[in-house]
Chain A
């Protein structure tokens, strides 16, 4: 396990996020998605993630699939084929999202300044996801399952808020010497 000694905020680029909506009670819908993406987390607030993609269950009828552009594009084509005739909706969200990765020993302290949810590993364990109000804006917080990423969170915000969110996180991280890459474009 790699020890993370510095706190860092990075923009995550090159990922694609696909939102899938459907009826959780529709066994056919669930089975067909699972046949394409692997395990489909059914409990709200849980995520199934591996190295190249993650499936996040955000509400009883809403899932996000995120990963590399090529991976998700491939999954999207297969999903559209598989879900024909099944009540569902599929919307690519990447163009409207900005994703950050917050890592470091004080990642929880920095996040805790902006959100009222319990970020302790006992409450937000690895492999958990929450859609919360963070710094006053809707944010999806995903804590990675992998042990080596114990102090790693992926944050997804609406694209138009990315400058605000970045400035806010940098201010919150001043106490913890949080560093970030260059300013991002609009």
Chain B
């Protein structure tokens, strides 16, 4: 049976399913409206007690009617039915119920409810601690929301940025007024509205409303305003967009939904807007509160404003016989409008002793019975309200109804104001916290500022829009709408906590989403959780998807009553971002799949991939770790590649290393002042390995410095160090006492680099690039030469074999690589390079150089007589050399990196293994370690814990195949 009222305009009918039942509704209307139009009130089961729950509200504040939308990977849980727009084929399911929402086995929790009040599991499942993981499974199954989809989300999300002069949140009458006033000045304005339509409260006004704005009906004014907004080139209007977060320095985050959950199709489904505004206005309206009474959670108990919204805006009669229950005047208007729309109103119960005269007369004129000075004792019915029990003048009566429309007053939507600790003032007359704008802070207007008179709200908003858009040179036009016959005035709210008969076990819910009752608050306070933030965490009040939008203030007032205090003395809990739920997809935006993080490609990346190289991450790079042949294990491939140095040469791609060019005549002086290694005597054509420390005297890195010319130097270092090193050098350069003629430029990508290591490296290189290497044959100092094709060739030694580093333009590397392979070089990856490094006993960053070792620990004697980073700390640190760990080698097999080295005499750990690799060159494991006072223990037998067993190991000096100081 349809519950549709006569439509205002023709609507497209679409089919959808709810709990596998096919229904029809109007495209674009909220799912909640469509369900109500189909007579569906039982929509969900509650979080903990699995009580039947229905639709309560008409907006983002909906606490109960959470549904799972869509199927498979596109399934989205926990969406309020009020926020889902209807489309053809939509599938929605109730959550937290089995086997169905009508018959839910979980409802057994209601029978054990006395044993599971708020916080019960904090006490019940205290121990033993290891059992928590066991309990958790069952707790989660018993109390939960929807299910996360198992497959990868196929939808596309993105993020974007915008700047504006003025951001206005909320496109109701106040927000529109502010926007039109600001836009007239030429300011860049962004107007954000979470609804699909612009208009706010004006969308729920009756056609025959007497109010006029600028001489037009409200609907007429709204239509014109929409045209103006669309035509204004300086206004960006974002509909269907929820501004969920306010952050420092007027930075805001908003979520725009372009396609509903569960829909398939191309294009972005949701977009995250990151907005930087010079000023902001919050025209966020107000949210109606629930009243707290026995069984106030039964389906069919709704907010009065929502009942009016569904009737006037969506043309749905949510009940056939409605009772209004209120503590303020707004419900009178809702009752009258519903009656006029054709909904039978069984009566209006006002819990105040005396009610507003004008409204009383209007109700009488509309034929609505008023029962004032009354108390509600509860509701009756099973899965839908069938009546309510009222006590008045000492008598109890039951009023039959199928819908109870409740209004507990209106709370300005202060969440955005509160997110950055905006000040609030409590207004006793309507029991609401009102935002107080600070200097330079966003300004709240309209109902969001506690201004409920339409004319006053629109006028103040227009003034705010004009003044905040003011900038030098901008023409300001004062546009203040003229509102006549506004029906909304100050709401006379009587803060009241309704009672129930003594001994009545019925629950009075405060927070419907988290199943928090008055009794829970009493328990919490009794147990000492009195402060509002403690109360919130003990009970769960204000948590979840609705963040307590309808219940927070009730919780606060009840807590105040229990403690004998005023609400303002307790204060509100701080609202945090987000105002409304945000999908993980939107937070990830474009950063997924291959764009998860920035990725760099080597000039030879395609060749490495074609060669079947195993690529491992190194910072943003992916570099070859080995080139396994078909059927070859990784370990064998590494051994083969490392062995190539013995009779031939291994060819490594080192293009990922970071490179800086230092230009200017003071370049060498700059580097000499930074590095531990003296560089002042570096000659042109010489390359030197240099050690860099940090301020605490610990070794940071080992870099190589190439002197290219009188005023040109090249610094090469490991991958992924560019930004940090550049900052360090720039800092030193810019903070020098006198201006240095030294300039640092990151040229990492301007060069490609290969390393050829092996006994036959020299002839292979000479053959491949036709170069005479005789000039750089001497091993010490390491020298380099500039060859044809723009090559820079440096010579060093590694693991006792000649090593040639060949630097060239990225465009040349493919050809050089190919020629070297043709000359007999074997492509080798970083794993083989690491074997050679260990064989050479060279300490490496991330292994031996782990932030805890100083140069002396690594075998460097003395402190150079010059300035360098870390000098002062290093001088002090040498006083404690008995406790320092030295770089040593350990004999033995089965050692694992990270494993502890044990002093057998007193069974005390005195160090750890840093590197342990099998070297095919020496046919044994090379184990490098940092051991306390290691150099004094050479020859000692120590212990190593391997697979639970202590094995003997011998400590040896880490003898480099080449003196590391050279």
Contact = CB atoms under 8 A, between A and B. Distances in A.
A59 B747 CA distance: 17
A34 interface: no
Contacts of A90: 663
B598 interface: yes
Interface in A19-57: 19, 21-23
Contact of A172 (B590, B663, B664, B749): B590
A91 interface: yes
Contact of B664 (A21, A92, A135, A158): A21
Given A159-B749, A159-B810, A160-B602, A167 B163 contact: no
B749 A116 contact: no
A10 interface: no
A83 B748 CA distance: 25
Interface string A106-124: 0001001101111010110
Contact of A88 (B267, B601, B663): B663
A89 B751 contact: no
B224 interface: no
B595 A171 contact: yes
A186 interface: yes
A87 B598 contact: no
Interface string B143-165: 00000000000001011111100
Nearest to A123: B163
A161 B598 contact: yes
A175 interface: yes
B739 interface: yes
A162 B606 CA distance: 14
A2 interface: no
A113 B747 contact: no
Interface residues of A, number: 43
Interface in A127-177: 135-137, 158-164, 167-168, 171-172, 174-175
Interface string A172-186: 101100000000011
Contact of A164 (B158, B598, B809): B598
B741 A87 contact: yes
Contact of A167 (B595, B603, B749): B595
Given A87-B665, A164-B598, A113 B750 contact: no
A17 to B, nearest CB: 10
Interface size band for B: 35 or more
Contacts of A6: none
Given A113-B590, A174-B267, A163 B601 contact: yes
A21 B590 contact: no
Contacts of A172: 158, 590
Contacts of B662: 89
Interface string B124-152: 00000000000000000000000000000
Contacts of A116: 161, 274, 276
Contact of A137 (B598, B604, B711): B598
Interface in B237-273: 267-268
A3 interface: no
A77 interface: no
Centre residue among A95, A117, A168, A172 by max chain B CB count within 10 A: A95
Contacts of A117: 161
Interface string B586-630: 000011001101111111111000000000000011000000000
Contacts of B603: 159-160, 186
Contact of A89 (B158, B188, B621, B743): B743
A167 B593 CA distance: 11
Nearest to A91: B745
Given A91-B661, A96-B810, A112 B160 contact: yes
A118 B160 CA distance: 11
B102 interface: no
A102 to B, nearest CB: 15
B747 to A, nearest CB: 6
Contact of A168 (B590, B600, B606): B590
Interface in B567-595: 590-591, 594-595
B604 A136 contact: no
Contacts of A15: none
A4 interface: no
A113 B161 contact: yes
B811 interface: yes
A93 interface: yes
Interface in B744-776: 745, 747-751
Nearest to B592: A171
A97 interface: yes
Contacts of A137: 598
Pairs of residues from A and B, 10 with the lowest C-beta to C-beta distance, nearest first? A89-B663, A96-B749, A96-B750, A21-B743, A87-B741, A160-B600, A89-B743, A118-B163, A159-B749, A95-B750
Interface of A: 19, 21-23, 61, 87-93, 95-97, 109, 112-113, 115-118, 120, 122-123, 135-137, 158-164, 167-168, 171-172, 174-175, 185-186
Given A89-B742, A120-B163, 8 more contacts: A21-B663, A88-B743, A92-B750, A118-B163, A163-B601, A164-B598, A186-B605, A186-B606
17 contacts: A21-B743, A87-B665, A91-B661, A91-B663, A92-B750, A93-B747, A112-B160, A135-B595, A136-B597, A158-B749, A159-B750, A160-B603, A161-B600, A162-B601, A174-B267, A174-B268, A186-B602
